[in-house]
Structure 1
């Protein structure tokens, strides 16, 4: 007689879409002895306007490579999707940068609720762009929060948090990777205690809540009348998307120069506000506070990104100045 070993692992549905969510899913899959991911949910594949082909999200691709079924509803309100989830009866849902609003019908299904990995120290930076907004504000500390999802955005009680010290060089894409990886490890560490006592959670101090609004493309335009540090923080915050740029004049033609890497100059230059100067390794711009922003890497439209030194060689002999 053959005795089948029962599977006592909790049934988990994972919801996520971009690369950072795939990083979190990869870590959870490394702990299959504790969790059984029975379904992955992601946003629908992106359709190419050129040939109509579809590209699945990074989370979708990772799930398929592990033989995990994937659903891609247009919204989490889709009734067929809700019905499928009810039939599945998951113990827990986990969300990481899923990108769709979760209705009450969804939240009521999993036995242990839905836990979200959120890259900020809640109640700070609730919303779509917590990492970008904390870098834009020049924060010296951030972190990741695990919270129980409720109908209000990022307002649910906390399961765990972990702090992370920031330097003034890290950019948003790198920080997102760090925080989602930390969040996934924190989740694995916290789940045994959570399953034993799901009520042992801490309500957020809603009076201290701040918002992290979605980024608009026009926010990436740099205005050199602002302080140099504020501009440097914008470059870090909006790296990846939407990027940062400013308008320059090249032989009388107006060009938008993409600004990729900067630093506030440790040196002193005698420049007037709005003046520029090439040094050996930087394009220096005097900002609104009379501090110098050094542009270290940039990109002209249709060209590849280059160092300031290579850019200077490319425009040598041409009239190049800030477009005021």
Structure 2
């Protein structure tokens, strides 16, 4: 099939690469978000998907808005049979959805209808789900509500960060997308309406404020939230009136500490929660590099009884 692929960040790259290498489908163009300023110099940088397309000599389209007529005209000229999508980052109007004969097929990193929305991997970790996965589905006007072509499952480890889990799903999901498009092309695959017996859940985009850790919560809740926002936007708390970024923590058995209270030991730094303490891993103070919590505590001369809030 002739494909126009839509995607932007690194988790979309494995699928684009798999489609390019499939030998069965032809990626005639890529749609990605416009180049964005990055780094200290704030130079415009191509998205990871756009960069891979450039390497393979594939046309790259970067519309400011998907409903722009110039973009719609070019998409019509390209005459794609289908438009696979992975984390493109913009809503698609019906006029664009109607152009490819087989529609737009999205790879979403959850077991739909669980965790529709922008941050399904983070939501699954935060909720304590034991299993998640990925789904391919036909995009319709309602958010992540289209009929499903295929799914895969993936266990969530109790140490998984959102970044680690997303990396695994992105790699496995690439194969799911290829097999989905194979089935659409040969007519062996039909989309099935989402089953709502277990209810629909939503995973909204996570803001920096959402990553502020409340140590009045139980240890397992603190642990899940920190992992859910690692690496982006990154967990944080305040000490001495300044933000301290937090890497993954681990609940530990031991004497209870008041919520937020820091206990510095020779080989570990503990913080109290509503239940058992958690052990800090890496931390990053303002203007400093990431370092082991023990090194930070020694350098900052953290006193017993100081608190993270």
The offset of 1:21, in angstroms, is: 0.8
- 1:53 equivalenced with 2:40 (yes/no): no
Residue of structure 2 aligned with 1:169, choices 133, 149, 159: 159
Q: Please, which moves more after superposition, 187-196 or 168-177?
A: 187-196
Written as runs of structure 1 = structure 2, the 5 A alignment for 1:1-324 is 10-31=1-22, 33-47=23-37, 53-197=43-187, 200-206=190-196, 208-249=199-240, 254-265=241-252, 267-288=253-274, 290-316=275-301, 321-322=306-307
User: Unaligned 5+ residue runs, structure 2?
Assistant: none
Instruction: Count matched residues.
Output: 308
Q: Is the 8 A contact 2:263 2:304 kept in 1?
A: no
The offset of 1:273, in angstroms, is: 3.7
RMSD: 1.9
Q: Which is higher, the Rg of structure 1 or of structure 2?
A: 1
The offset of 1:57, in angstroms, is: 0.5
The one-character-per-residue Cα deviations of 1:76-119 (angstroms, maximum 9, x if unpaired) are: 11111111111111011000000010111111111111110000
The offset of 1:190, in angstroms, is: 2.9
- Distance in 2, matches of 1:116 and 1:60, equals 18
Q: Is the 8 A contact 1:12 1:36 kept in 2?
A: yes
The offset of 1:276, in angstroms, is: 2.2
User: Unaligned 5+ residue runs, structure 1?
Assistant: 1-9
Where 1:178 maps in the other structure, the secondary structure is: helix
TM superposition score normalised by structure 1 = 0.90
State the 4+ residue runs in structure 1 displaced beyond 4 angstroms: 48-52, 317-320
Q: Is the 8 A contact 1:23 1:177 kept in 2?
A: no
- Distance in 1, matches of 2:21 and 2:189, equals 27
- Distance in 1, matches of 2:204 and 2:89, equals 14
Aligned CA distance change for structure 1 residues 283 and 317 (closer, same or farther; 3 Å): closer
The one-character-per-residue Cα deviations of 1:125-162 (angstroms, maximum 9, x if unpaired) are: 00111111111111111000000111111100000000
Aligned CA distance change for structure 1 residues 34 and 301 (closer, same or farther; 3 Å): same
- Distance in 1, matches of 2:27 and 2:143, equals 25
TM superposition score normalised by structure 2 = 0.94
The one-character-per-residue Cα deviations of 1:29-81 (angstroms, maximum 9, x if unpaired) are: 221x1110000010000035975631110111110011001000012111111
Aligned CA distance change for structure 1 residues 236 and 323 (closer, same or farther; 3 Å): closer
The offset of 1:313, in angstroms, is: 2.6
